[in-house]
């Protein structure tokens, strides 16, 4: 009966009872919230019924699954001194969200917020009258939640309007907000990006005579890697090839601890939605100075690889350079050109660039086949939009030899890296790390592309080790 009355009270269907005076002690069993983890792994907790109490939940008594900061749990308390308690977990309680993204729906008894996340399916949040403002049914909103009582269902206290549910951009915006993705850069990061200038030749190898090209999908938003191959002119290596793989050198602009570094660490990587991208760095860098656009000088980290006629790696060299892409090509464009259907862009590049690239690829691919390497050809799906930005369908993404070419050259570059110690000078080792490869390194310190890097290493430091 008490539980039913509390629920009716939280829903506003019965008048609230008179507030009780704050208790000067805690009951033997109560609800706790984990606020911190100390150096020994024990949990520091608070109780809403007695905020002054200092409560310690030893890790050995935390139960399974182990609570984390922000979790609530039902616990048994044992006094250990004045306002000090030792806790023992009984069970973990569902986490009370402090914010939610969802759709406003008219239930007949007023508007309710229905969250987008599957975990909250069937949940509806009541909206405080002062929070509604000009929001209407059918709109996507971000809501700040607050519970009237410790165990009551939260109530919407504040609403930020995102857009109508049927608007194409509203869903991706709502999902980005729901995931907590930073949508804007700090003024300091934007100012730092605005002061960045194009790369100069100083202390860099000049690679601008190499006809490097970028090859990506039609819908690619970043152009951060370029390739080139040619027959090896060394008489001692008949049938061999020399391969160049270059990637934009983000560390030229991002320095340890500066505003750009902090912004990059906050994001970890760029995030792509079907209709938009949330870049890791401001657009002045991500779409310009760190993008290998055609006919522009760009800072790069490059791998110079030599293979023999059987695809064996003879030598490798890594360098910081300045390059100039000859063209921005697509996979279909390149495939059509080598299949005998070049266009105005690929025709002048067919003999000097594209055919040597495919010749080197065939040698490497045959070497992989001889080694018995597994070739996983997993299908990908592509979302198709109409002219108004609405989803028109989902189709299977075509996989061409041009895709395999880029994958094989990138794989060969990474294999050369694994022949070395993880920490080496830029002139002897790699791999080349771009902004898109830094998330797993920064966030977890795990092995990525053969390199083990400590957690939360600044992006500029990570890239400078390449």
Query: 313-324 and 205-206: which strand pairing?
Result: parallel
Contact criterion met (CB below 8 Å) for 160 and 14:
no
Whole-number Å distance between alpha carbons of 8 and 152: 10
Instruction: Annotate 336-357 with DSSP letters as a single string.
Output: HHHTT---TTTGGGIIIIIHHH
Whole-number Å distance between alpha carbons of 37 and 43: 5
Whole-number Å distance between alpha carbons of 409 and 367: 13
- What is the reported pLDDT for 175? 82
Whole-number Å distance between alpha carbons of 286 and 191: 15
Question: How does pLDDT run across 367-418, given as a tens digit for each residue?
Answer: 989 988 877 777 888 888 888 777 788 888 888 999 999 999 988 877 765 6
Instruction: Report whether pLDDT(305) > 90.
Output: yes
- What is the reported pLDDT for 411? 85
Does an H or E element contain 55, and which? strand 54-57
**CA-to-CA separations, 430 to 303, 317, 418, 465, in angstroms, rounded:** 7, 8, 9, 8
Q: Which residues contact 160 (CB under 8 A, 6 or more apart)?
A: 141, 142, 143
The DSSP bridge partners found for residue 72 are 33, 93
- How many Cα atoms within 13 Å fall on the side-chain side of residue 301? 25
Residue 133 token pair: 């403002």
What average pLDDT does this structure show over 56-78? 89
Query: 54-57 and 43-46: which strand pairing?
Result: antiparallel
- Determine the longest span between alpha carbons in the chain, in angstroms: 95
Across 69-186, where does the E strand assignment appear? 72-81, 84-93, 99-106, 111-115, 125-127, 139-146, 155-164
Whole-number Å distance between alpha carbons of 280 and 264: 5
User: To which residue do tokens 């909103």 refer?
Assistant: 141
Instruction: Report whether pLDDT(427) > 50.
Output: no
Whole-number Å distance between alpha carbons of 431 and 412: 10
Question: How does pLDDT run across 195-238, given as a tens digit for each residue?
Answer: 999 999 888 999 999 999 999 988 888 898 999 999 999 999 99
Question: Beta-carbon neighbour count of residue 458 at 10 Å?
Answer: 20
User: To which residue do tokens 């995030």 refer?
Assistant: 271
Contact criterion met (CB below 8 Å) for 243 and 228:
yes
Instruction: Report whether pLDDT(459) > 60.
Output: no
User: To which residue do tokens 């590049």 refer?
Assistant: 349
Question: How does pLDDT run across 229-282, given as a tens digit for each residue?
Answer: 999 999 999 999 999 999 999 999 999 999 999 999 988 889 988 778 889 999
pTM for this prediction: 0.66
Whole-number Å distance between alpha carbons of 206 and 320: 9
The DSSP bridge partners found for residue 276 are 273
Residue 402 token pair: 């041009």
Instruction: Report whether pLDDT(432) > 80.
Output: no
Across 218-341, where does the E strand assignment appear? 225-231, 241-248, 271-273, 276-278, 297-307, 313-324, 328-330
**CA-to-CA separations, 342 to 204, 334, 335, 338, 362, in angstroms, rounded:** 34, 8, 9, 7, 20
Contact criterion met (CB below 8 Å) for 384 and 394:
yes
- Lowest mean pLDDT: which of 101-115, 119-133, 143-157? 143-157
Whole-number Å distance between alpha carbons of 157 and 85: 33
Contact criterion met (CB below 8 Å) for 241 and 218:
no
The DSSP bridge partners found for residue 318 are 303
- What is the reported pLDDT for 34? 92
Contact criterion met (CB below 8 Å) for 337 and 347:
yes
């Amino acid at each position: 009966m008490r539980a039913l009355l509390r629920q009716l009270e939280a829903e506003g269907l019965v008048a609230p009872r008179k507030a009780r005076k704050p208790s000067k002690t805690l009951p033997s069993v109560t609800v706790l919230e984990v606020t911190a983890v100390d150096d020994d792994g024990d949990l520091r907790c608070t109780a809403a019924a007695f905020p002054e109490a200092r409560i310690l939940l030893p890790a050995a008594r935390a139960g399974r699954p182990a609570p984390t900061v922000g979790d609530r749990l039902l616990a048994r308390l044992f006094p250990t001194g004045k306002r000090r308690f030792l806790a023992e977990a009984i069970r973990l309680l569902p986490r009370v969200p402090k914010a939610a993204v969802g759709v406003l729906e008219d239930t007949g008894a007023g508007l309710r917020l229905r969250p987008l996340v599957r975990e909250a399916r069937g949940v509806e949040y009541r909206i405080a009258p002062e929070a509604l403002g000009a929001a209407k049914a059918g709109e996507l909103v971000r809501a700040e939640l607050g519970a009237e009582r410790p165990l009551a269902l939260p109530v919407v206290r504040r609403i930020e309007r995102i857009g109508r549910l049927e608007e194409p951009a509203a869903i991706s915006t709502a999902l980005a907000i729901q995931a907590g993705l930073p949508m804007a850069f700090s003024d300091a990061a934007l100012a730092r990006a605005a002061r960045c200038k194009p790369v100069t030749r100083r202390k860099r190898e000049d690679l601008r005579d190499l006809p490097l090209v970028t090859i990506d999908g039609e819908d690619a938003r970043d152009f951060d890697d370029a390739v080139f191959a040619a027959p090896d002119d060394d008489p001692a290596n008949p049938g061999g090839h020399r391969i160049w793989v270059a990637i934009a050198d983000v560390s030229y602009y991002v320095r340890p601890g500066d505003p750009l570094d902090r912004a990059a660490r906050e994001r970890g990587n760029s995030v792509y939605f079907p209709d938009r991208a949330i870049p890791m760095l401001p657009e002045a860098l991500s779409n310009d100075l760190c993008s290998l656009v055609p006919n522009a000088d760009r800072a790069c980290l490059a791998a110079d690889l030599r293979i023999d006629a059987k695809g064996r790696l003879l030598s490798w060299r890594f360098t910081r350079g300045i390059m100039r892409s000859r063209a921005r090509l697509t996979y279909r464009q390149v495939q059509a050109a080598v299949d005998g259907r070049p266009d105005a862009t690929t025709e002048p590049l067919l003999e000097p660039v594209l055919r040597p690239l495919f010749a080197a690829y065939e040698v490497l691919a045959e070497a992989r086949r001889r080694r018995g390497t597994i070739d996983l050809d997993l299908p990908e799906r592509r979302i198709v939009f109409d002219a108004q930005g609405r989803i028109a369908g989902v189709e299977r993404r075509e996989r061409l030899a041009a895709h395999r070419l880029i994958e094989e050259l990138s794989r060969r570059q990474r294999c050369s890296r694994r022949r070395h110690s993880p920490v080496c000078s830029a002139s002897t080792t790699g791999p080349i790390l771009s902004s898109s490869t830094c998330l797993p390194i920064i966030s977890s310190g795990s092995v990525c592309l053969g390199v083990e890097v400590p957690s939360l290493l600044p992006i500029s430091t990570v890239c400078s080790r390449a």
